[in-house]
Amino acid sequence: MTNSNHTTEPARATGIFRRTVLATGLAVCALGLAGPHPAAADEAPTIRFGTPTWPGVTVKSEIAEQLLVHMGYQTSNVNGSPSVILNSLKTDDLDIYLGGWMPTEKDMIDPLVEQGEVKTLTTNIANATMGIAVPTYVWEAGVKSEADLAAHADKFDYKIYGIEAGTGFNKSIRDAIANNRHGLGDWELVPSSTSAMLAQVGRLVDRDQWIVFLGWEPHWMNIAYDIKYLSAKGEPKIAETKSDVLTVANVRMVEDHPMVAKFFSQYQVRKDEQSKWVYEYSYKDRDQEEVAAEWIRNNMDRVSEFLEGVEARNGKPAIEAVRAAVTQG
């Protein structure tokens, strides 16, 4: 796991926050990463984030950290698995988690909520989607449903491109082929890494060739490529999932810092916004601090929605503190 910190007066190098990265052990509580909580009255409280190494949650957390710093707080961020992060919220070693993927993490999150050991504040991403996708030029040529695939099998070379072997999504595609759903019995699934699958998408799109593959949003693929998700004409879609991403909080943090909790309860992100963040951070390989700072600077209308009715530590409107910091930066 790794830990990084933002302070109320972050050092500036090239107009972005400088982060200090420390090597840590496997458990957050083992080293007491963020120190005592809450902070002493004469120092800014530290809001402690837990973040899996997922691009979307990484940038989403970075934006929240920078806004909190502008509001007068300090932040720290620990990378770890969802199970470790959720346990650390329960044990008061972390404060906030912006990656509560449902229903995938339902069995971990729901018992903690029911026992009053953590609190869910909002759905920060609604209706995240995974399904079978094609380039828009293929969709415009008549392949708008999974039922349309078989009629154009030659153009697709009888192949559906999937992700890593052994995933449930690949199994759904294999089952559809085995059961000849939509006339796909003669097709094959081509499993590969996500990066290899998307590289193949890029190669064929560059040549205006046909391809059908497993897609999802939010993700940079929706920005880099013009794609459409196929319908299923009255029956369940192949490999489709719809998910919500929850903001999960330390109960004590919610009680001790109601304005921070109010901010997080209003920090709701659109899928297209997170796709753009992931595109800049992961696809274009930019620093997360730079991506976050640029987005805040260029989207103050959205920031004002997140901060409606929220006060900074000095008691003034949080949006005023953010505007002042962005202007000075």
What is the Cα–Cα distance from 248 to 121, expressed in whole angstroms? 6
What is the Cα–Cα distance from 259 to 87, expressed in whole angstroms? 24
Whether residues 173 and 204 fall in one domain: yes
Q: Tens digits of per-residue pLDDT, 176-192?
A: 999 999 999 999 999 99
Whether residues 21 and 98 fall in one domain: yes
Q: Residue 329: what pLDDT? A: 67
Task: Tell me the CATH number at 210.
Answer: 3.40.190.100
Q: Supply the mean pLDDT for the chain.
A: 89
Which residue do the tokens 């940038």 mark? 59
Domain final residue, candidates 224, 242, 260: 242
Give the global pTM.
Answer: 0.82
Alpha carbon 209 to its chain centroid, in Å, reads 30
The residues that bridge with 94 in the sheet, in sequence order, are: none
Indicate whether 114 pLDDT > 80.
yes
- The amino acid that residue 175 corresponds to is D
Q: Residue 43: what pLDDT? A: 86
- Concatenating the DSSP letter of every residue in 237-304 gives PTT-EEEEEEEEEEHHHHHH-HHHHHHHHH----HHHHHHHHIIIIIS---HHHHHHHHHHH-HHHHH
Whether residues 121 and 247 fall in one domain: yes
Ramachandran sector of residue 129 (left: φ over 0; alpha: ψ -120 to 50; beta: rest): beta
Phi and psi angles of residue 48, each rounded to the nearest 5 degrees, phi first: -105, 115
Phi and psi angles of residue 133, each rounded to the nearest 5 degrees, phi first: -125, 155
Whether residues 117 and 168 fall in one domain: no
Q: Given pLDDT bands bounded at 50, 70 and 90, which one contains residue 241?
A: confident
More confident residue, 146 or 169: 146
Whether residues 162 and 299 fall in one domain: no
Domain final residue, candidates 242, 267, 288: 242
Whether residues 121 and 257 fall in one domain: yes
- How many CA atoms are closer than 13 Å to the CA of 124, on its beta-carbon side? 27
Task: Give the structural domain span for 203.
Answer: 129-242
Determine contact, residues 269/246, Cβ cutoff 8 Å. no
Q: Tens digits of per-residue pLDDT, 189-240?
A: 999 999 999 999 999 999 999 999 999 999 999 999 999 999 988 778 898 8
Whether residues 214 and 185 fall in one domain: yes
Determine contact, residues 215/223, Cβ cutoff 8 Å. no
What is the Cα–Cα distance from 110 to 108, expressed in whole angstroms? 6
Q: Residue 19: what pLDDT? A: 36
Whether residues 120 and 248 fall in one domain: yes
Q: What is the total count of domains within the chain?
A: 2
Whether residues 257 and 212 fall in one domain: no
**Among residues 112, 53, 100, which one has the least CA distance to residue 77?**
53
Domain final residue, candidates 242, 264, 281: 242
What is the Cα–Cα distance from 156 to 327, expressed in whole angstroms? 52
Within 8 A by CB and 6+ apart from 297, the residues are 326, 329
What is the Cα–Cα distance from 192 to 259, expressed in whole angstroms? 45
Whether residues 247 and 229 fall in one domain: no
Whether residues 23 and 102 fall in one domain: yes
